[in-house]
Structure 1
């Protein structure tokens, strides 16, 4: 599991994320204590609290229904899409750690 600072570093590496239903979220940027982005098909902007997203990450959230308990507003799908990218990066890091041992 990433520490809060590692989590933020990881978010900085993600510029695009795809939802479970195939919606693309792009132009993901860290701005202060939030991450901003755009849903490609609707061109709607969204903003997510990094703190809320980290809380969801700590709990291992894997559905938008679960995400509703952590994210304020209506940005559950982009939050989960971004979190899924974090999970992928985390798996890569863990895989590298195992190889190094």
Structure 2
């Protein structure tokens, strides 16, 4: 993912709380679609599958079929790329502002 428009599917996927919950579970270990459905009894299987589809389109989940089961694996690389491209840049800016503030407080001019 190299351009801003390529980042859009990632932001879309991360925007929904349930999709973030699914990623949190997959961070622990790969899970079958059935296991994910059991983890979210308030959602029907179709809804879980729709969320997984959005996550796959964003390359956040890699699905592999093994026999009759579909195993879902977390791919954290797109999240790292978002961090490197967006979050670290803004964090660096915030740190420079805090550094200036500290300097101003340590060296008052009046």
TM-score, scaled to structure 2: 0.33
Rg comparison, structure with higher value: 2
Higher strand share: 1
Higher helix share: 2
TM-score, scaled to structure 1: 0.35
